[in-house]
Amino acid sequence: MPQGSFFALLGPSGCGKTTTLRMVAGLETPTSGAIHLGDTEITYAKPYKRPVNTVFQNYALFPHLNISKNVAFGLERRGVKNVGQQVADMLELVELTSQAHKKPAQMSGGQQQRVALARALINQPEVLLLDEPLGALDLKLRRGMQLELKRIQTEVGLTFVHVTHDQEEAMTMADTIAVMNQGVIEQMGAPNDLYENPKTTFVANFLGQSNLIEAEIQGREGGQVKVRVQGALASIPTERAHSESGKGWLGIRPEKVLIAEAGHPIDAPGDVITGGFITDVSFVGVSTQYMVKMPWGQELMVFEQNTGARRMLPVGTKVDVSWRPEYAFLLDASQDAKAGIEED
């Protein structure tokens, strides 16, 4: 994990992300392997001897101490004198200067989260570990705190390692995401790289949503791999093709699929498949989400931005779908097309 970066461990419950975090904190001992902080090996170092602090989901604030005393606790425990200015600086960083005299019970969840953050940061750790830190907050507050956490991380320049099962949270904040599944990192990289060019069906489904369509790989042609999809020919750029022969899964994100009534021209068409009809329509404000049943029985998801350019298409409408080849990706057919889909 590069020094000074915001690194996220993302995956479903039980995949090993919190265990990994606890090993870094010294709360679990690895059965094999080693943990290094820069050039220093810390695999077996006592937790209190590691320059690492953790912010937990439940905040773990001291209810009998006011906010200033909570923040000062770590420094005073180590015998540091005259901590007033450092506490004031931390409260200013997390925008809680006016709340210094309050007790935790008098504060909102978001404010308590910031106190926990200030209490960890004042110790100047080399690495700050965040274990589902926003999990207890409601949706709107969580969105605001995501931006707040990223601002603070950028300002202090520390390495943040953040554990979450919330894909949007990881993509909003992290410079690098490691997508974990059953104790293995499936893929690691920048959020846009993982989203645009997933290398496994698990990543394609867990990070956002994907249409995965069975395809017969025809071969390479120039900078593209050609595939046959239910009789139609489609193309995938070679750098996004992770299988070269036999069968494969052609992947396309729902917002990259274009839709038009059957026989009508499609705006900026690419590879076109005809003969679908709409089975479900969901209006979600910023977009309309269609389910389109294709001739071979599969339903494709299509997300269309609500620009007002045309009317919403009703259930039963016969439609054609299309996507630009540069947005498609190709995965190995031996992988489960449903891997990474979380059941409601």
pTM: 0.88
pLDDT for res 142: 81
The domain segmentation of the chain, as residue ranges, is 6-196, 209-332
The whole-angstrom separation of Cα 318 and Cα 309 is: 19
Strand stretches in the chain, DSSP E: 6-10, 36-37, 40-41, 52-55, 127-131, 159-164, 176-181, 184-189, 211-221, 224-229, 232-237, 247-252, 258-261, 271-283, 287-293, 299-305, 318-323, 329-332
pLDDT for res 231: 84
Superfamily grouping for domain 6-196: P-loop containing nucleotide triphosphate hydrolases (3.40.50.300)
pLDDT for res 344: 44
* Three-state SS at 158: coil
The whole-angstrom separation of Cα 47 and Cα 269 is: 57
The domain defined by 209-332 folds into OB fold (Dihydrolipoamide Acetyltransferase, E2P) (2.40.50)
Residue 334: how many other CB atoms lie within 10 Å: 11
Percentage helix, strand, coil for the chain under 3-state DSSP, each rounded to 5: 30, 30, 40
Provide the 8-state DSSP code for 270. -
pLDDT mean by block of 10 residues, the chain; 344 residues: 94 93 94 94 93 84 91 87 88 89 89 88 90 79 84 90 92 95 96 96 94 95 92 93 93 96 85 93 95 96 92 94 95 94 65
H or E stretch at 115 = helix 109-121
Contacts 24+ apart (CB under 8 A), 234-239: 234/271, 234/325, 234/328, 235/271, 235/325, 235/328, 236/325, 236/328, 236/329, 236/330, 237/325, 237/326, 237/328, 239/197
pLDDT for res 343: 57
Provide the token pair at 29.
């001992």
The whole-angstrom separation of Cα 131 and Cα 113 is: 12
